[in-house]
Every structure is written in C-alpha cells, then in structure tokens.
Structure 1
Amino acid sequence: MKVSVSTAGSRGDFEPYVALAQGLIDAGHQVTFAAPRDARRLVAGTDAEFIEMDLEVREVLRSEEGQRWLAGGNVEAYLEGITKMLSEARHTIGSSVLASAVDADVLVTGVNTEDYALAVSQARGTPVVLGHLTPWLLTDEFPQPLTPQVVPDGLSAEEYHLRSHHLAEEVYWQGKRDDINGFRASLGLPPAPGAALTWTVELGLPTLQAFSEAVVPRPHDWGPSNRITGFWRLPSEVRRRVGEADLPGPLADWLADGPPPVFLGFGSMPVLDPPKLLDLIVRAAERTGLRLLVGVGWSDLSELTGELPGTVRLVGAVDHDRLFPRCRAVVHHGGAGTTAAGLTAGLPTWIYTVFSDQPFWGERVARLGVGGYSDFLDFDLEHLTGVLGRLVGADVRQRAEAIGERLRAEDGVGTAVRLIEEILG
C-alpha cells in the first residue's frame, strides 16, 4: 500500500506524523511525506520519500511578527496569524499535497493540510484519513481547545462548549476559505461548504485522534468514525538515525552527578527578557534546593551559561523520551507533544499557558491530579517555587507514575496503522 502523509506546522505538529510514517513503513507500506522544510531532517530518519513545502514554520514564528502572535495570548489574533502564514504558502502546500498523492492508495493528513487533502481525495477518488493531535472536533463535553476553558456566566456548559467550537471554526474558515476554494476550483471541484473540521463530521470521514483516552476520555457525542489511538511516539530508531538517540555527554554527566532535576521547558514560547528569566530560575533553585534543567526551546540564552550555578543547567533540543525518565517533574508551555512525553514518563506536570491549546492540556493535567496549570503571566519567583513544591510531593508523584504506566502500555502508532489498514480493507 502506498500512503501519502501530509502535514504543516512546527516540530510538535509534524513529529507524531513522522512516527506514524515509520510505523507504516515497518508494516510494509510505502510512504510519501509532504511537509515544510523544517521536517526534512527528521523525515530523513525514516525510509519515506520527502516532498518539501516551500515553508519554514520555525522561522516564521521566530520572526518579529510571529513572536507577536505567540506573545499576544489572543486566540483570534493567533488564528489570524497562522491562517496568514498558511495562506501565503497556499500554492506550495497545495502542490506538495498533490505531488505526494500521486498513485497513493490513501491520504493521511494533519489539521493544517486537511482541507487540501480532502479536495485531492474528492477529485481523485482516493480515501482520506484525518489525524488530530488535539481533539478539535465538535463536542458538548469540553470547549474548543483554542478557546477559554472556563464557562462564562449565563451559559450552560454544553451550550458554551458547542458555541466555542462553532466560533473557532468560523474564524479559521473565514481566513482560509478563498484559498481552499481556489485550490478546489483548480481541481474542477465546487466550493466547500465549510472547513474540513466541520465537513468531516457530515461526511463521516475516518479521523484518528492521536492521544490517549486516559488523558482525554472519549466524548459521548463522537461518531464511530472518530477513533482514539493513543499518543504517536517517535521510535528510538528514527532518533538514532538523525543523531538524537543519546543525551549530550556533558548533560549526561550533569544528570549523573546529583538527584533528578525538574525540567523547565519553554519550547516555542518567546522569552522576552532572558537574563531576568534565568535569574528567577537560579533563585528558585536556591530557595527549593532542587536542581533545575532549563530547555531553552527557540530562545537564545547561550551568552548567559557562564553565570549559572551547578544546580541550574541549560539544554537545547533534546529527546524528551530519553531525558524525562531521568527527571522528577516537568514544567513547560503545554504543547500536546511535550505534555504527552511528560505524562508518559510518569512525571508530575505544571503547564504555564500562553495561547493555543495549552490551557486545554493544562486542564487535562489538573483533572488527572498530576499537577496543574496557570497563565504564563503568573510566572514569578513566588509562584514558581510554590509550583515546584507541589510537584515534588509524594501524592502527585504516585498519581503521575500510575498514569505513565498506563500510557507506556499503549501503542498509539500501531493502533493507527491497523486502523488505516482496516479502512482500506
């Protein structure tokens, strides 16, 4: 079977699809992978054919404009910014999805490319399977993940939840409707009645939900075509091929030279005042007696490393699956992938949210009783030291270990591969 996989976004968006691609290849299938150039290095760790979109999401989000989207914390502004980025890249996204679909038996697509893949599916008669890393589809059980998670006064929970889904989809669709319908017209198709997110339910298309029911229980109002698989974790062999399998020697030595640290990761979140941030973290280490390992993400803190005590260390991009089992807790920005990695490692978790689906994952962590979440604006010395004290407590650690054991027993990629094979009969 030849499978076309397409997705767009930063590493947190495409890494799970690389894991799925390798799972399909291990099952004997041929994979063509269309994604922004950011993904080329990681896809090279598989035997998939790579088709590059002329788009580098990391550079866009690291630009001055992109940092404003990230720092603003405004959902509508963020959606408009992401939609603008995808709109400017519409021709390369469309052509790449088309190229990857040549002779394909099935199209597997992420949320940022699903409107294009759905059009190709309808034009060519090729089955399409949608993959969602976060539960985007309509439900009355929880709000749309990009919207506020607290029900406002005057509305029932169910009413607000449904309204939030419709509102987010409307904003998203208004920004991309012309691009998608232009692409559809080039394939001889009529305009779409709405975004694929909405249309998916009406068409009954199969959707693979790449998270665990232990973290997000299945909504009662989802149809049978929406299948929850478990998280899609990148296999160690792929990491080995791209040079990510081992922790850097100095980091491994530091980890071995004392008790497990608490990991603080900032991912793609902008750090506007690095010296102030590091000073705060150093003082938190002094006050709590904990060792703190700081994942700098996209921020450049290299000039500050000489000023750090032995209890605080900085680390760049590193394999969370290998690092987290050597930590005692995690504090991070709440991306779906980092949340999954921390929970799978059985670690107490605190999420400092800025935007996007981060509050949703923070709410999941709080419901599990393995930590909690708060706004990134609360991040100061008093708050951080309080959080660290909570995370190293025995009760939260025991609950986190139980969740981790359950998640490690799941095979999200294997389940997804079997479902794709079932769909094709």
Structure 2
Amino acid sequence: MRILLTAAGSRGDVEPFAALARRAAASGHDVLVAVPDRSGVDLDGIDVRSLGVDFSAMIESQGVSPLAAMRNLREVVRPVMRGVIVEAARAAQEFRPDVIVQHPKVLSAPIAADVLGVPHVLVEPVPAMTPTREFATTTARDLGPVLNRLSYRAGAAAGSMFRREIDEAASVLGVSRPRRSSAPAATLMPISPAILGRPADWPDSVVLTGPWRAPAAVADAAAAGSSPDPAVDAFVAGGPFAYAGFGSMAAGDPVARGRALVEAARARGIRLLVATGLGGIVVPDDVRGDDVLVTRTVDHATVLPHAVAAVHHGGAGTVHAAMAAGTVSIIVPFIADQPFWGAHLHRRGLGPVAIPQRRLTADLLVAALAEASEYEAAVASVAERMSHEDGTGEALRVLERLA
C-alpha cells in the first residue's frame, strides 16, 4: 500500500507522523511523508518530501500570539500555509498514494483524495475538529452541551481564510475547487484512552488510537538512558530534579519565566533541567549554577522518567510523554489546546491546577511542586495502562482496512 502522510506545524505536530511512517514502512508499506523544514524531528530513514515551509522560523519571528498571527497574516502566515496546501497537493499528484493521511492544516488533502479516487484520513493531534457535547475544544471551561458542540465550528471554518491557496492547489490537481469535498474515511486521534475518555456522541469512524510513539527498538534505547548529550545524562544521574520546557511557545517574558523556575526549584531543594526550545524560557546568567542545566532540547523518553515533575506548556505530545513516563505534569498553558489539557488533567486527578503563563510566579510554582507527589499514584496507574497501548499499530490497522 502506498501511504502519503502530510504533516504541518512544529515538532509536536510532525513527530507523531514520523512515528507512524516508521511503523508503516516496517510493515512493508511504501510511505512518503510531506513535512515542513527544520521541524526538529528525527526523520532519518524515512522517505521525506519537503513542503518548502518553516514553521520554526515563523514562530521565531513572531512568537505564538494569535494577535501577531492575524497582524502578519498576509506577510508571514499566508505564505507558509500556501506551501502546505499547494505542495501537499503536488506531492499527492506525483506520488499517487492509495490513501492520504492529513494534518488538519493540510486543507488540500480532501480535494487531492477525490481527484485520485482514494480515501483520506484526518488526524486530530488534539480534539479540535470532531464536535462533542461532552467538552469544548481549546478551552479550560465546560460551556455546557450546546455551546461545547458549537465551539468546534471555529476550526471547521478555518479553511475559508485560505480559499485562494486551496484554489491554487485544485489547479495543480487539474480541477476547480469543489463546493464540497468528501468526508474523511476515518479520523485518527493519537490520544490515549487512559487520559481522555471517548465521548459517547463521536461517530464510529473516529478512533482514539493511543499516542504514536517511536518503534520499540528506539523506545528501548531511550529507556536504557542513552541521551545524545552526555551533559544531560550526567545531570539526570545526579539526583532529584524537575524538568521545565515550553517547546515552541515563544511568547511573553521568557527571562521572568526562567527566574521563576529556578527560584521555585531552589525553594523546593531540587535541581532543574531546562529545555529552552524555541525561546519560551531564558535562564539569565546571574541565576545559573551547578543545580541548573540549560539545553535547547531533550529526549523526553530519556529524561522524564527520572524527573520528580515536568513543568511544561501542555501540548498533547508532552502531556502524553510525561504520562507515559509516570511523571506528574505542572502545566503552564499558552494557547490552543493547552488550557484544555491543563484543566482536563486536574479534573481527572492527574496533576495540580494549571498556571496560565501570564500568571506564572515562583510562589505558584513552589506550591505546585509541593503538590506533585499527591498525584504520583494516579499518574503511575495511567502510565501502566498506556504501556499496553500500540497507537501506531492501531492507526495502521485502520489504514489497511481502508485501502
């Protein structure tokens, strides 16, 4: 079977697609992954086609503020989305897959699938496209059954902002943009049922597969403690520490966040491992010391199982990585689905109350770190359930039934 995987976004968006690509290729399928440049994801051994766009550069230039994105829609956001929409269509036309697996931002995938006469499968890394009465999308609040369901309309309407780009993609495929494209043959959510219960009003075509993680051989190597950075290995082995990383969340005052993190860790008498990512945390020189290690990025599978707590932005990928490691999350949400995950974990008794990034202080972090141990047993139980999940295997089984 020829499978085209089309991903868009930064590392957290691309990483699950890379994991699925490896699993599908290992099962004998012909797989092409169309991805942005410089995602930070290990793509060695995967057949890759560049979409010619760089989400990391976009984040570095304007941060992750929705207001900044609207201000820079024409100059920054639209060219990136054009690359995703048009180049993904071109990849489909040239590769001629039997099935197209799409990130929600790849708005041309349904048209390409219809032109080629093949099914397309929507991937929801977060529950943002399939409506339910049970919870609203990308918010910490329960809006009630009616408004919860209505909250999903915003995501469905996003395509109207990029009609010109969709028209161009249709032209590449030799057709005019249709008024309506076919619905996804299936929707895959790389989310653990141990973390998020399946709403009763989701259609049968929606599958909670479990997270898409690296193949067993890669995971076993990480579990053995082999990090690409010896300094990180040495720090992890040196005693109790907390991990802090906000991924691509470059917004607000990263220096103030760095100071608060260091002050809170020292107040609790623990060391601090900081991953600066794309600039969400800056630890100034005057607060550094032997008890603080600052690096750009870490392998979550290597580091998180040894951390007493993980302070992070609450992206779906990091939520799952921390849970799988049995590590309590202290979520500092910025945008999108992050407030949802922060509130959801707390309601489930899996972590302290989330601290919105604009309200982050050392005092609030000290309190959250002090509470972390109260959630360890519940998180360990979820980790045990997740250890039996095979997300990429379940996703591949759905694809094999369709083609």
Q: Does 1:369 align with 2:337?
A: no
Q: Which runs of 5+ in 2 are unaligned?
A: none
Task: Give 2:388's aligned residue.
Answer: 409
Q: Does 1:141 align with 2:167?
A: no
Task: Give 2:10's aligned residue.
Answer: 10
Task: Give 2:204's aligned residue.
Answer: 224
Residue 226 of structure 1: CA displacement? 1.0
Give per-residue Cα distances to partners, 1:67-126, cap 9 Å, x unaligned: 2xx246x6xx6578679755313553323443245232211111111x211111111102
Counterpart Cα distance in 2 of 1:301 and 1:330: 14
Residue 266 of structure 1: CA displacement? 1.6
> Is the Cα–Cα contact under 8 Å of residues 52 and 96 in structure 1 kept in the other structure?
no
> What letter matches 1:323 in structure 2?
V
Counterpart Cα distance in 2 of 1:2 and 1:220: 33
Task: Give 1:98's aligned residue.
Answer: 90
Task: Give 1:177's aligned residue.
Answer: 163
Q: Does 1:354 align with 2:334?
A: yes
Q: 1:307 to 1:149 in 2, by over 3 A?
A: closer
> Is the Cα–Cα contact under 8 Å of residues 283 and 294 in structure 2 kept in the other structure?
no
Task: Give 2:19's aligned residue.
Answer: 19
> Is the Cα–Cα contact under 8 Å of residues 84 and 175 in structure 1 kept in the other structure?
no
**Secondary structure of 2:273's partner?**
strand
> What letter matches 2:36 in structure 1?
P
**Secondary structure of 1:314's partner?**
strand
Matches within 5 A, 1:14-413: 14-39=14-39, 42-43=42-43, 45-46=44-45, 48-63=46-61, 66-67=62-63, 70-71=64-65, 85=76, 87-93=78-84, 94-101=86-93, 102-113=95-106, 115-136=107-128, 137-145=130-138, 148-151=139-142, 157-170=144-157, 172-193=158-179, 203=183, 205-235=185-215, 246-259=227-240, 261-270=241-250, 272-299=252-279, 304=284, 307-371=287-351, 372-391=353-372, 393=373, 395-413=374-392
**Secondary structure of 1:130's partner?**
strand
> What letter matches 1:365 in structure 2?
L
The percentage of aligned residue pairs carrying the same residue is 28
Residue 323 of structure 1: CA displacement? 1.0
Q: 1:300 to 1:124 in 2, by over 3 A?
A: closer
> What letter matches 2:99 in structure 1?
V
> What letter matches 1:175 in structure 2?
M
> Is the Cα–Cα contact under 8 Å of residues 55 and 89 in structure 1 kept in the other structure?
yes
What's the TM-score, normalizing by structure 2? 0.89
Q: 1:168 to 1:413 in 2, by over 3 A?
A: closer
> Is the Cα–Cα contact under 8 Å of residues 40 and 52 in structure 1 kept in the other structure?
no
Between Structure 1 and Structure 2, how many residues are aligned?
Answer: 396
Q: 1:416 to 1:351 in 2, by over 3 A?
A: same
**Secondary structure of 2:392's partner?**
helix
**Secondary structure of 1:126's partner?**
coil
Counterpart Cα distance in 1 of 2:65 and 2:110: 32
> What letter matches 1:229 in structure 2?
T
Between stretches 370-379 and 408-417, larger displacement belongs to: 370-379
Give per-residue Cα distances to partners, 1:133-162, cap 9 Å, x unaligned: 1112111111122xx33246xxxx011112
> What letter matches 1:98 in structure 2?
R
**Secondary structure of 1:384's partner?**
helix
Q: Name whichever structure is richer in helix by fraction.
A: 1
Residue 301 of structure 1: CA displacement? 7.0
Counterpart Cα distance in 1 of 2:69 and 2:199: 27
Counterpart Cα distance in 2 of 1:341 and 1:376: 21
> Is the Cα–Cα contact under 8 Å of residues 209 and 229 in structure 1 kept in the other structure?
yes
Q: 1:238 to 1:177 in 2, by over 3 A?
A: farther
Residue 56 of structure 1: CA displacement? 0.7
> Is the Cα–Cα contact under 8 Å of residues 305 and 314 in structure 1 kept in the other structure?
no
> Is the Cα–Cα contact under 8 Å of residues 282 and 309 in structure 1 kept in the other structure?
no
Give per-residue Cα distances to partners, 1:361-404, cap 9 Å, x unaligned: 1122112211131311120111111111111x2x3111111111
Give per-residue Cα distances to partners, 1:305-357, cap 9 Å, x unaligned: 57512222212211101111111211101111111100111111111111111
Q: 1:110 to 1:84 in 2, by over 3 A?
A: farther
> What letter matches 1:106 in structure 2?
V
> What letter matches 2:345 in structure 1?
V
> What letter matches 2:394 in structure 1?
T
Residue 185 of structure 1: CA displacement? 4.6
Q: 1:3 to 1:334 in 2, by over 3 A?
A: same
> Is the Cα–Cα contact under 8 Å of residues 181 and 192 in structure 1 kept in the other structure?
no
Q: CA RMSD in A?
A: 2.7
Residue 29 of structure 1: CA displacement? 0.8
> Is the Cα–Cα contact under 8 Å of residues 247 and 323 in structure 1 kept in the other structure?
no
Between stretches 212-221 and 180-189, larger displacement belongs to: 180-189
Q: Which runs of 5+ in 1 are unaligned?
A: none
Residue 9 of structure 1: CA displacement? 0.8
Q: 1:81 to 1:216 in 2, by over 3 A?
A: farther
> What letter matches 2:269 in structure 1?
G
**Secondary structure of 2:290's partner?**
coil
> What letter matches 1:128 in structure 2?
H
**Secondary structure of 1:374's partner?**
coil
